[in-house]
A and B are shown apart, each in its own frame.
Chain A
Amino acid sequence: MVHLREMPDHLREALVNQELPDFGDTPWVEPKPLSECRVALISTAGLHRPEDPPFTPGAGDYRIIPDDTDMGALTMSHLSTNFDRSGFYQDVNTSFPADRLHELADEGVIGSVASRHYSFMGATPPTAMEPVARDLAKVLKADNVDAVALVPV
């Protein structure tokens, strides 16, 4: 298992205590009631459709995952060798819970599912992602997205 508590001490310390960027005070948006929220997923697992180009080191770009994509066909080109992929191979929802999100919409827990989801590749420095992510916020608004669930690996 690639569990933190099972990693060699020096590697765990390096991962947990790595230098993190400082984004300052926590921003806060007052969302709609959850049962009215339109929700998109944003993964940092380096996911994309098979026909999309794989992720490359240092690029802060993302891939669009339309909600009607065959999620079972998604592929993962994250650069890191240091997290479990066997769970994803067996069930895409282990790291990209699109089916679960639809079930919560069907149950009325959330209002609806956005028409597009997105994946970044998490080994990218946040500084490289920042301009791209600011633009992405505009796209999300255009899609009437109220809230995003951020799902790392």
Chain B
Amino acid sequence: MSGLAHILESEGIATVAIALIRKHAEDMKPPRALAVPFELGRPLGAPNEPDFQRRVLRDLLELLEEDSGPVLADFPDEPPGAAPDMEGWACPVNFAAPVDDLSDEDLIRQALLQEISLLKPWYEESKQTRGGRTNFGISGKAPEEIAAYIAHVVTAREDTESTIPDTPAHLAFKHMADDMRYYYMEAAIARPDGRASDVEIGNWLWGETTLGKVLVTIRDWAMESEHPGFKALAVTAMVPTHQRHRTQHG
């Protein structure tokens, strides 16, 4: 972000930048930055809080009134909404225990299909609540096709064949695995208070579902794999930091 600020400003466009990691702005000195005390992924602070979001954006834009820089200002307030009640969150659906045997492609596929069919009404409900919005669809594949591909990857490993034209196997996996996680996550936020966080949903997805177990297994394999594409993704782009304790390599 600070890099873009340097580049655009040097080309004659005035910039203001939100800084989620204050130290990066301190070190890189973009022309005008507003450091915010929010979690990563929420640069405006909190969802469905238009007044608060507008204050953040206004404070940011008002840095354009400074006479000289670099300017690094601090937004003073924590986002509204109390920390979610960690005890209170539960997925709307009760699953069977994740499958134990991760060597049988067909069994894994069946288990994923069962999870998907249980989540489907909640996914649809969640989507409708948000006016039809969904982040599912990056890969262009249906949930059932994704279940089959993920079951294939965990058993075929290096021999995986991509099912997306002109897309290598590891990228097809990345897009489909992300899609599947979005599907589960969107279903999981369908409950009425809408206050679930990434960690709460993550603890359920990665700790209690067959999908989570399969994705952790793929990550464990990919970290030691000779396949350059899967290996490169494994380090940071497969399992969130707050769930890496479930993996062999952390």
What residues make up the interface of A, taking CB atoms closer than 8 Å to B? 1-4, 6-8, 11, 15-17, 20-21, 23-24, 26-31, 33-34, 37, 39, 42, 44, 50, 54, 56-57, 72-73, 75-77, 79-95, 97, 99-101, 103-104, 109-110, 120, 122-123, 126, 129-130, 133-134, 136-138, 140-141, 145-153
Residue from B54, B186, B233, B236 in contact with A82 in the complex, judged by beta carbons closer than 8 Å? B236
Whether, in the assembled complex, B64 has its beta carbon less than 8 Å from a beta carbon of chain A, the answer is: yes
- A67 CB, nearest partner CB in chain B, Å: 15
Contact flag A54-B138 (CB < 8 Å), given A81-B240, A84-B197: yes
What residues make up the interface of B, taking CB atoms closer than 8 Å to A? 1-21, 23-24, 27-31, 38-48, 50, 53-54, 56-58, 60-62, 64-65, 68-70, 83, 130-135, 137-139, 171, 174-175, 178, 182, 185-186, 189, 194, 196-199, 201, 232-233, 236-242, 244
Contact A150 B16 (CB under 8 A): yes
CA distance A126 to B5 in the complex (A): 11
Residue of B nearest to A79 (CB): B237
Residue from B14, B28, B57, B239 in contact with A101 in the complex, judged by beta carbons closer than 8 Å? B57
Contact B18 A57 (CB under 8 A): no
CA distance A145 to B11 in the complex (A): 12
Can you offer 12 A-B residue contacts whose CB atoms are under 8 A?
A: A1-B199, A2-B240, A17-B23, A28-B68, A39-B61, A54-B175, A90-B189, A100-B57, A104-B61, A149-B17, A150-B15, A150-B18
Contact flag A94-B45 (CB < 8 Å), given A109-B58, A137-B12: yes
Q: What residues of chain A lie closer than 8 Å to B185, measured between beta carbons?
A: 85-86, 89
Q: What residues of chain B lie closer than 8 Å to A133, measured between beta carbons?
A: 4, 7-8
- A17 CB, nearest partner CB in chain B, Å: 8
CA distance A29 to B137 in the complex (A): 40
CA distance A44 to B54 in the complex (A): 19
Contact B13 A145 (CB under 8 A): yes
Q: What residues of chain A lie closer than 8 Å to B24, measured between beta carbons?
A: 16, 20
Contact B28 A23 (CB under 8 A): yes
- B35 CB, nearest partner CB in chain A, Å: 11
CA distance A150 to B2 in the complex (A): 9
Contact flag A81-B236 (CB < 8 Å), given A1-B199, A42-B4: yes
Contact B232 A94 (CB under 8 A): no
Contact A147 B16 (CB under 8 A): yes
CA distance A129 to B18 in the complex (A): 18
Contact flag A26-B50 (CB < 8 Å), given A16-B21, A85-B198, A149-B60: no
Q: Supply 7 further A-B pairs (C-beta < 8 A) apart from A123-B237, A148-B15.
A: A24-B6, A75-B134, A86-B197, A89-B182, A100-B57, A137-B8, A153-B20
Contact A89 B189 (CB under 8 A): yes
CA distance A117 to B78 in the complex (A): 27
Contact flag A90-B47 (CB < 8 Å), given A100-B57, A146-B14: yes
Q: What residues of chain A lie closer than 8 Å to B15, measured between beta carbons?
A: 29, 147-150
